[in-house]
Every structure is written in structure tokens, then in C-alpha cells.
């Protein structure tokens, strides 16, 4: 994972459905299925199921905890109090202790700030997280959904104080949400952060099951407005889905496997989080680990989903040609 010595499986099991769409019996089966398939990284958050996801995992992982990389997140409200959300020092300490209790463990491997808290100074949060790393309660700190400037500022603050710094970044990333390639992926690669992506299926859009259903389908999370389309999707999302479905047919696999495999082929990606409501979905997602594209298929997916460069890259990407063209030496004409 990034510059660290930590090794994570290329697929990470996400537990967002636990306690809301997946009961404990099915959760137990899914966790064991993931572990048996070789997945060593489990992702959760205190806000999933209002704490139920962490509580489920705490029971299910009994006797297996030390063999796994356990990641959780904090930020979202976990009570009615004015300090029951965010990333203040008070909230960081309180959130971690609550997660440790629910997860029945005395340490977290990767602890993420879930969202941006513009009301708390970065120094306050980073100092608190550093204290918890030094206390042995957190192995690595990380963030999710940060803009490039905020992530860079956080790294600078940590480095200038010799504090533990973010070692992992968790963004939304899929064939129809490729925005992070413009600034965040180059930043993470330059600074050595591992990238663990969420929503590789664009909340189900890339399975093709919502086409013609106006974004809602009975018996799925879309009934509760969990499907984010088209808010975050690129304008070429439908064209991209067409190619996903074509390649799934060519490879005799599911569209979900095509979408997940594409993520795993991208530079800088340490792991992709796969979530499911039941074991059948999870088995299908896990099969993406064995899928292989031809060079032509990979190129088709990458080309159809490409986003146009934004300024300043749209202006500056070919400036090396201008610079090279300004060099006039007789030897270059030979």
C-alpha cells in the first residue's frame, strides 16, 4: 500500500450494507467467503448502519482479527450532540474508542477521516491522530474524499511536525467517475499514498441492471436513493456502459467483473472495495480477480470512458513539445 510495507489484497471487502441491507447471518457468510478467497482487507465505518456494521464485524471476526487488515472511518454524526460528528480532537478520541469497542479490538490498521470537515483546522485533527498512532491504537492514518490541495496541505503539515501522515487515500473511482486521474492520482503516486477505491460499479450503474428503470429497481438499494446516478457520472456514461456490456459478452462474464477488473488495471491502485448485499453478488465480484482483458479490450474501455483534460492540464500537457522545439543544435539536424 503506497510507500508502506503493508500488503493488501487487490480486492477489499466493504461492509456498508451490514445492519441495513444485510443481516448478521448473511454477513457472517460473506466475511468467511471473502477471507477464503484470499481477501485480507476489510473496510467499514462507524456510520454504516449507525454502528451496526462495526458491531457485526466485531462478532464475526472473533479469532481472525490479527490475520486481517481492518480499516474504519469517522466523521458522520453518531449522536445528537454538537460534537458527535466532524474531526475535532474531542471527536477523534471519542470516535476511535467507540469503534474499538464495537469492533472488539484494541487497534485499527487503517483509520480514515471519512469526509471534509471545513470547521476544524487540519492541524488539530492531524495532531490528535498522531497521538493515537504513537499510543499504538492506530497503525496508519488515511483520508477519503479530500481535494488535491487539502490532501497536499495535510501531508505538508504532518511532515513539518514529524507527525504520522496519511498513507492511503480512498476516493470514488469507476469507469464513469474518473475525475481523480486529473490531480489526485498523480499526487498520490508522487507522494507514495496507496489508493483504495470505493464504488467501482458506480453504485450498480455499471452492472446494467438500472438501464430503463430510471435509476430505481425494486429489491435494491436504489429504492432508498443509494444510487448516485447521474449526479457524479460523466456525460459519456451510457456509451461506457455499452462497451462494458459488449466486453462482458465477449468474455462470458458479468458486467460487474469487467468494471472491477478495469479499476485493478489502473496505475496507483492498491485495492478496490467491493460491497454486496448477499453472497451471490460477492462471489461474482470476487471473480474479477481472475479476469483478464486483451490489450484491445482494455483500450476500448479506457478510450470510451476518457474524460477531456481540464485546465491547466488541457493547456500545459504538450508544453514539452514547445520546449523541445526551441532547442536548435546542429547535431539534432543530422
Total structural domains within the chain = 1
What is the rounded average pLDDT of the residues 12-24? 93
In a domain, 63, yes or no: yes
Provide the pLDDT confidence category of residue 229 given band limits of 50, 70 and 90.
Answer: low
In a domain, 2, yes or no: no
Provide the pLDDT confidence category of residue 327 given band limits of 50, 70 and 90.
Answer: confident
The distance from CA 241 to its chain's CA centroid, rounded to whole angstroms, is 21
Q: For residue 10, give every residue at least 6 positions away whose Cβ sits within 8 Å of its Cβ, in sequence order, or none.
A: 264, 269, 270, 271, 272, 289
- State the catalytic residue, choosing from 21, 48, 140, 311: 48
Confirm if 255 and 245 have CB atoms less than 8 A apart: yes
Q: Which domain holds residue 164?
A: 11-333
Give the pLDDT confidence score for residue 205 in this predicted structure: 92
Give the pLDDT confidence score for residue 218 in this predicted structure: 59
- Residues of the chain with pLDDT > 90, as a percent, come to 85
CA–CA gap between residue 324 and residue 174 (Å, rounded) = 35
Distances from the Cα of 31 to the Cα of 27, 37, 38, 81, 105, angstroms: 6, 10, 11, 33, 17
What is the rounded average pLDDT of the residues 293-311? 96
- The CATH number of the domain holding residue 283 is 3.20.20.100
What is the rounded average pLDDT of the residues 43-48? 97
Q: Residue 279 has which C-alpha cell?
A: 453472497
CA–CA gap between residue 130 and residue 141 (Å, rounded) = 8
Give the pLDDT confidence score for residue 189 in this predicted structure: 98
What tens digit of pLDDT does each residue of 200-215 get?
999 899 999 877 555 5
Mean pLDDT of all residues in the chain? Answer: 93
In a domain, 3, yes or no: no
Give the pLDDT confidence score for residue 215 in this predicted structure: 57
∠ CA 318-322-326, nearest 5°, is 160
Confirm if 267 and 197 have CB atoms less than 8 A apart: no
Judged against a pLDDT cut of 60, whether residue 228 lies above it is answered with: no
What tens digit of pLDDT does each residue of 115-156 get?
999 999 999 999 999 999 999 999 999 999 999 999 999 999
In a domain, 135, yes or no: yes
Judged against a pLDDT cut of 60, whether residue 227 lies above it is answered with: no
In a domain, 4, yes or no: no
CA–CA gap between residue 172 and residue 145 (Å, rounded) = 7
In a domain, 136, yes or no: yes
In a domain, 95, yes or no: yes
Give the pLDDT confidence score for residue 214 in this predicted structure: 59
Give the pLDDT confidence score for residue 21 in this predicted structure: 87
Confirm if 24 and 59 have CB atoms less than 8 A apart: yes
Which one-letter DSSP state was computed for residue 222? G
CA–CA gap between residue 7 and residue 62 (Å, rounded) = 22
What tens digit of pLDDT does each residue of 246-283 get?
999 999 999 999 999 999 999 999 999 999 999 999 99
Which one-letter DSSP state was computed for residue 265? T
Q: Clarify whether 112 is annotated catalytic.
A: no
DSSP string spanning 170-191?
E-B-BTTB-GGGTTHHHHHHHH
Provide the pLDDT confidence category of residue 334 given band limits of 50, 70 and 90.
Answer: low
Coil, strand or helix at 13: strand
Q: Of 83, 85, 63, 60, nearest to 75 (Cα)?
A: 85
Give the pLDDT confidence score for residue 115 in this predicted structure: 97
Provide the pLDDT confidence category of residue 10 given band limits of 50, 70 and 90.
Answer: very high
Q: Is the pTM of this model over 0.85?
A: yes
Amino acid at each position: 500500500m503506497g510507500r508502506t510495507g503493508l500488503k493488501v489484497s487487490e480486492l477489499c471487502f466493504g461492509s456498508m450494507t451490514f445492519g441495513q441491507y444485510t443481516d448478521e447471518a448473511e454477513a457472517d457468510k460473506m466475511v468467511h467467503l471473502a477471507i477464503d478467497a484470499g481477501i485480507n482487507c476489510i473496510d467499514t465505518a462507524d456510520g454504516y448502519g449507525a454502528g451496526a456494521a462495526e458491531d457485526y464485524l466485531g462478532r464475526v471476526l472473533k479469532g481472525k482479527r490479527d490475520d486481517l487488515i481492518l480499516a474504519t472511518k469517522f466523521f458522520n454524526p453518531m449522536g445528537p450532540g454538537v460534537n458527535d460528528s466532524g474531526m475535532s480532537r474531542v471527536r477523534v478520541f471519542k470516535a476511535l474508542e467507540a469503534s474499538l469497542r464495537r469492533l472488539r479490538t484494541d487497534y485499527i490498521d487503517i483509520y480514515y477521516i471519512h469526509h471534509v470537515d471545513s470547521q476544524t483546522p487540519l492541524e488539530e485533527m492531524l495532531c490528535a491522530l498522531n497521538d493515537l498512532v504513537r499510543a499504538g491504537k492506530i497503525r496508519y492514518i488515511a483520508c477519503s474524499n479530500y481535494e488535491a490541495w487539502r490532501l497536499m496541505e495535510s501531508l505538508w503539515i504532518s511532515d513539518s511536525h514529524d507527525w504520522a501522515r496519511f498513507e492511503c487515500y480512498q476516493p470514488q473511482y469507476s469507469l464513469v467517475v474518473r475525475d481523480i486521474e486529473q490531480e489526485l492520482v498523480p499526487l498520490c503516486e508522487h507522494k507514495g499514498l496507496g489508493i483504495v477505491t470505493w464504488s467501482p460499479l458506480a453504485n450498480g450503474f455499471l452492472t446494467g441492471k438500472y438501464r430503463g428503470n430510471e435509476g430505481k429497481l425494486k429489491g435494491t438499494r436504489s429504492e432508498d436513493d443509494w444510487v448516485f446516478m447521474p449526479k457524479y457520472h460523466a456525460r459519456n456514461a451510457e456509451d461506457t456502459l455499452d462497451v462494458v456490456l459488449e466486453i462482458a459478452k465477449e468474455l462470458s462474464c458479468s458486467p460487474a467483473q469487467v468494471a472491477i477488473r478495469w479499476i485493478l488495471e489502473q496505475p496507483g491502485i492498491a485495492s478496490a472495495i467491493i460491497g454486496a448485499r448477499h453472497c451471490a453478488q460477492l462471489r461474482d465480484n470476487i471473480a474479477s480477480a481472475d479476469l483478464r482483458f486483451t490489450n484491445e479490450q482494455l483500450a476500448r474501455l479506457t478510450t470510451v470512458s476518457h474524460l477531456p483534460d481540464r485546465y491547466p492540464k488541457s493547456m500545459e500537457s504538450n508544453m514539452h513539445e514547445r520546449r523541445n522545439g526551441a532547442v536548435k543544435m546542429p547535431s539534432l539536424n543530422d
